[in-house]
Amino acid sequence: MSDHKPGRLVVISNRIALPGQTSTGGLASAMQATLQERGGLWFGWSGKVSNNEKLHRVSHESVDYATFDLSRQDHDEFYAGFANRTLWPLLHFRLDMVDYQRSHLDGYMRTNALFADHLLKLLKPDDILWVHDYHLIPIASMLRERGVKNRIGFFLHTPLPPAALLIVLPKHRDLLETLASYDLVGLQTARDLRALEDYFLYEIGGTMRKAGRLRAANGRRFRAGVFPISIDTTLVAQTAHDAESLEEIEQLHNSLEGRALIIGVDRLDYSKGLPERFRGYAHLLERAPELHRQISFLQIAPTTRGVVPEYRQIRKDLERSAGHINGMYAAPDWVPIRYVNQSFPHSVLTGYYRNARVGLVTPLRDGMNLVAKEYVASQDPENPGILVLSRFAGAAFELPDALLINPADTAEVADALERALKMPLKERQWRWRAMMNVLENHDINTWRNGFLAALADVQTEPVNSQN
């Protein structure tokens, strides 16, 4: 029997949620839950731009937080540049939007090295390092160069496109081969894992002895696996139940005057398929006049990455589109779309989900999409709503009992909305039960424990063993 305690968990991500901060995006909320449960250190960008090079440290309950500011140049080249104008569109299959500049790649590498230098000062020999997302792909190789021998895992929250798309990125090999410096690379779905395996096997001369056991051309071995991220299902269900007593929920409920609510909640990002979603809704209004005044669509879309031009553009496009639809169909006593550009506390959102007959989640591509899962977990078991879900969200792999649609097909979106709005209670109930079973069996704890157990397992292999 071993009484060996697992080492401290060190989570490394660009965006972190400091104590008391409301986080947007799946990554921060998932890591908040993970660290609160297990304790450890969370290291990342402070969210501020300045020339202050010092680390900021705070502790809250069992979690230590260490952050640092980015200089203007690093922010522009690393965050607003290579991460969000090159990698983000590439990883979301949007080659048309990829902006590649050599200076941005240099800034990305330089800032990853800065993360590594800061982190080095905080590390202990037994620490288990867990790096998150596309901002920090090369950090493990930089830590290895600096002598770090700890177990290091990486989880990609976004999709990974097929190798044929990845190779469009100039110098793709310099970046992607560094994934081999991790001990374990986690992906959201089997499709993403296949893309990684194909890339290493067919594009850069790696080998694979068994599924998920890869060797890079430089000889370094690593493992890769599928770990679909999830939510704290029990907590979300309880929060939604308790939210019924909140003033905000009562206000929404009263404002609906018995109309069926359709809800969408997304960061204002072009990958979320919002213009297509609005067109799908307009299509429904056009062909189902009997639904006018009977329904209301609430789209919540807090602005993110406002420094990136493509995000400013999508905001303008959506304002125009919402205005156009309301102009066409609104009546003195009815507004078809309520388009709200702000964020809400998590508890309020779960209450909104519970009051919505339809959850409309239609990204063009999405790593997982935790809104889809939270919508399901928030429902009233006696009278659940229906999830209309893009087949291009990672969540579609786990939730086949949602109404799955292709978001580019506006008629299909309209069909699914109509079907959901008219669906009998019995069907809503069995669909909801099937989805809820999945989420109860696979929640945020299963995800975290599964990943960390697999990472610890890699540790037991003799360092020099052959594949």
| Residue of 184, 180, 181 whose CA lies nearest to 201 | 180
In eight-state DSSP terms, residue 458 is H
In DSSP terms, which residues pair with 331 in a beta bridge? Answer: 334
Question: Residue 277 or 305: which CB sits closer to ligand F6P?
Answer: 305
Q: How far apart are CA 396 and CA 124, in angstroms?
A: 39
In the complex, the smallest distance separating the C-beta of residue 61 from ligand F6P, rounded to whole angstroms, is 22
Q: How far apart are CA 105 and CA 103, in angstroms?
A: 5
The residue number whose beta carbon is nearest to ligand F6P equals 25
Q: How far apart are CA 42 and CA 360, in angstroms?
A: 33
Rounded to 10°, the helix 346-354/247-256 angle is: 30
Q: How far apart are CA 45 and CA 67, in angstroms?
A: 5
Please pick, among 366, 401, 415, 443, the residue that the annotation labels catalytic: 366
Q: How far apart are CA 8 and CA 129, in angstroms?
A: 8
Q: How far apart are the first and last CA of the chain?
A: 28
Do residues 260 and 61 touch, judged by C-beta distance below 8 A? no
Contact set with ligand F6P (CB under 6 A): 15, 24-28, 133, 157, 304-305
Question: Residue 157 or 279: which CB sits closer to ligand F6P?
Answer: 157
Question: Residue 221 or 305: which CB sits closer to ligand F6P?
Answer: 305
Question: Residue 178 or 369: which CB sits closer to ligand F6P?
Answer: 369
Residue 101 CB partners (closer than 8 Å, separation 6+): 81, 82, 86
- Let me know if 366 is a catalytic residue: yes
- Let me know if 157 is a catalytic residue: yes
| Residue of 396, 441, 460 whose CA lies nearest to 223 | 460
Question: Residue 133 or 415: which CB sits closer to ligand F6P?
Answer: 133
So which residues are the catalytic ones? Answer: 157, 366
